[in-house]
Structures are given as C-alpha cells and as structure tokens.
Chains A and B, each alone.
Chain A
C-alpha cells in the first residue's frame, strides 16, 4: 500500500467517522436542547452542538465540490492538473 492509497483510505474512514459523529452530535444536541432541565447554559450548549453538526454536514457535503471547483478554476488559468481526489 503506497502513501497515496493510505491517505485516501484514511480520508474515507475519517469521512465515515465524521458522518457518524455528525449523527451522534445532532442527536445529542437535540436531546440536550429538549431535555427538561431549566438551565439556560445547558440548553445553549445543545443548541451550539446542533449548529456545529449542521455546519459540519454542510462542509462535508460540499467538500469535493469545492476541491473540484478550485482545480477547475486554476486549470483554466494555466493548464490542467491532476484531478481532485474523491473521498
């Protein structure tokens, strides 16, 4: 296994873990936010967890698109380069 394959496999694995973590964070966030605890700080923490998870999901979704876009723009500026990696 060469370094490129290793890095790609690692990326795919981390991507899978990140999706799983997103689900966990989203669930925990809503659970904390909706818990019957009348403490504002706790509820706020839940809120921020949900927000971060949603942002993470967004960046994850657009990740390969951003890379592809950058490659496309720079290759148009001069000449084509290796295609962006696909996780």
Chain B
C-alpha cells in the first residue's frame, strides 16, 4: 500500500511536470511535445495504481478458470525431487561400488549420467526458487512495477510494465508447468533400462553325486571356445550362481561350461547353461572324489557298485576296453593301499602344483571287464585354488545398461531442464507482449 501511495504521488508529480512543460513560454515543439505525453503517462499510471488489487484479483480468477493451483505445482516439484534424488543416490552408489570391482570401466559413464542428474537438480532448484519468488512476492512485484511505471519522464515505464505483466503471467502460468511438461514428456519414450536380474544356481557333483569342492567353472560363449568369457569358482559344496546382478548376461544367452578340478579340465553333463535355467546340477561323470583324493575314469565307464567312506574309496567299474585310471591326491593325503581286484598295486607318484595347490598323481592301467578299485589313504582337505575370478560380461549387455541409464538421465534432463526452459521462455515472451500492451517499450526522448 505504501508503494502504491508513492506511485500515486509520483503519477501526480509526472502530471504536474507535464502541465509545467505545456505552460513553458518557449515556442519549441520538441520540448512542448513532452507535456501531453507526460500527462497521458500520469493518467495511465494512476489507472494502474488504483487497479492494483484488481490485477491481483484477475490473476486468481484466471488461475481458477484454467483449473490450476499452486499446491499441486509444489506437490509435482517435490515428487520430481524425490524421484531424481532416488536415482541420483542409486547412481552415485553404483558408481562408487563398481570402482572396486572388475566393472570399474562402468564408473565413468555412470558418473556422466550422475552429472546429467546434477544438472537436472540445479534446474529443479531454479524452478523452486522462481516459483516461490513469484508466489510470495507477486503483489510486491506488481506494486514495484506500478511504482516504476509512474516515474516521471518514462524512466521506468518499460521495466515497470514488464514487472506488472510478468507478475500476472507467471502467477497464472507457473502452476500450468506440470501440465505442459506431461503433455510433451511422452514424446521420447524412455526405453527403461532393465538390469538382467536372472539368477542361475549351479552345483557341481561327481559321478557318485557327492559335491565337488571349489570347482573352477569356465564359461565359453557359443561361438568361440578359445578364451573363457567368465571364470567362477564355486564354494566348498560345489555351489555357485551366475547372474543375480553380478554378471551382465544378454537376453538370450547360451554358455558352454567346462570344470577345472585339480588341474583337470572336465566336461560336465549337461555342458551348456542357457537362458531360462534356474537350478543346474553339473555332473562330472569321469570323477570320483572324496576328501582329498580323486579318481579319474574315462567317460562312459559304468560304475557297478561303490562304497566311499572317509579315507577309503571302493568302486566296481565296468568297461569294454581297457583304460588308464588317474589317481590324484592333495599333498597332505598319504596313500596306504591301492588295490585292483583285491591285489595291491604299486604306483609311482609324481608331484605337481596347480593354482597354488600341491598334489601328487599316479596312473595305473585297468583292463577291460568289471574290476574293483580300492584306494585307502589318510583323508585331507582340498584348498581353494587361487584362480582369478572373472564375472561374465557381455559387451552388448553392458552397452544396453549404459544406454538405458543414460536414456533415463536424459529423459530427466528433458523433463526438468529443457521443457521447463522452453515453457519459461514462452511465459517470458507472453510477459513481454503484455508489457507492450500496458505501454512498455522504453522510448526515452528528452529533446
């Protein structure tokens, strides 16, 4: 009110100055022209000053007509902040998490995505600030606009008209921002990234169904059998899992598996793990294992009978052709007897080391037909081999994940930076147009 009072007085001053100029005894048209101009300005200023409450009322009325309100704008802004904050926190966590894993190369695109979100945060903060400013200081903005408008000699006419227009247009326009953004948001349909959360549980067992400790599973892609795409070590009970957020598996994958145990490469049955499996038991049909000792027999050998106790393996095997049986023990296990069909065999052990484990091997021929092999020894433990694990990572799925994350972040940028920016530009253009109607367009010609 104080400001409006001052505006009224200033308008009166402008009017009197206009009259004074008109009454000057100087016959110069260029000077005299200012008289009527100032009188007209003063009248316009008085009209605006006395209809200030009318302008404010008009804003509320327009808002009611368009069916928008400020509380819902704030609700929209806080919902966006919550969503953005959640994704931002997740990305920052993921970026710092992957740094210590073999996926450290992912941290850079993740950081880039997080920086997009940081920009969106700044834009959101700007929107908060601007909307709060308009909402709280709308009447002050209008009053100051009128005060500037009523300054003599058109000093603040343009900027005053703009203030009045902006206070009205922004007050009506800002609550419509959610409607504007939502009408354009769906133009770019975010594909939505999905992290392949498929989980496949795997257990490796020997020919007798006992778990094989610490098996090293080498996974090979369908096309190349050269270099494994993943190397995963199972636990003491031969269990492990792939997927579960640890591996980046493509949508339809098919992986060949080979199991490394005690330095032997054994093809399990089944030898393929594919999309859709959930529980897989990999049977090593050529291995018989018990507490530190392993017997390796050829594929296809029939096991007629077996009796495995702690420190003793006794099996009846049948084969059409003769073969060589491999007996491998960890270094701590000492053999007391090896018997073939009840007769003691002498076997020369050779020591070797594989993946940090010391072992000893011996081989003995087994003729065709059904035979019993019995090994008696002091039981020992098979330690975990020191093999570098390599989780399965498909470049294409990594690319999908990065693209998904970036698309998500760009959709945030689009919805929170680009669209509000365009909308604010539209509002500003409308304010400028209204300001021209109110008599803006600064034209200061004193002489």
Interface residues of A (CB under 8 A from B): 3-4, 7-8, 10-11, 14-15, 17-18, 21-22, 24-25, 28-29, 45, 48-49, 52-53, 55-57, 59-60, 63, 66-67, 70-71, 74-75, 77-79, 81-82, 84-85, 87
Contact = CB atoms under 8 A, between A and B. Distances in A.
A7 B10 contact: yes
Contacts of A21: 20, 23-25
B52 A81 contact: yes
9 contacts: A4-B6, A4-B9, A7-B13, A18-B19, A24-B25, A53-B25, A56-B20, A74-B54, A82-B1
A59 B25 contact: no
Contacts of A49: 25, 27
Interface stretch (B43-51, B91-99, B216-224, B407-415): B43-51
Interface string B1-26: 11011101111110111111011110
Contact of A59 (B9, B10, B22, B52): B22
Given A48-B27, A52-B23, A56-B23, A63 B50 contact: no
Interface of B: 1-2, 4-6, 8-13, 15-20, 22-25, 27, 32, 35, 39, 43, 46-47, 49-54, 57
A15 B16 CA distance: 6
B54 A77 contact: yes
Given A66-B43, A75-B50, A82 B22 contact: no
- Most chain-B Cβ atoms within 10 A of its Cβ — which of A21, A57, A75? A21
Nearest to B22: A56
Looking at chain A's contact residues, is the secondary structure mostly helix, strand, loop, or mixed?
A: helix
A24 B16 CA distance: 17
B49 to A, nearest CB: 8
Contacts of B32: 52
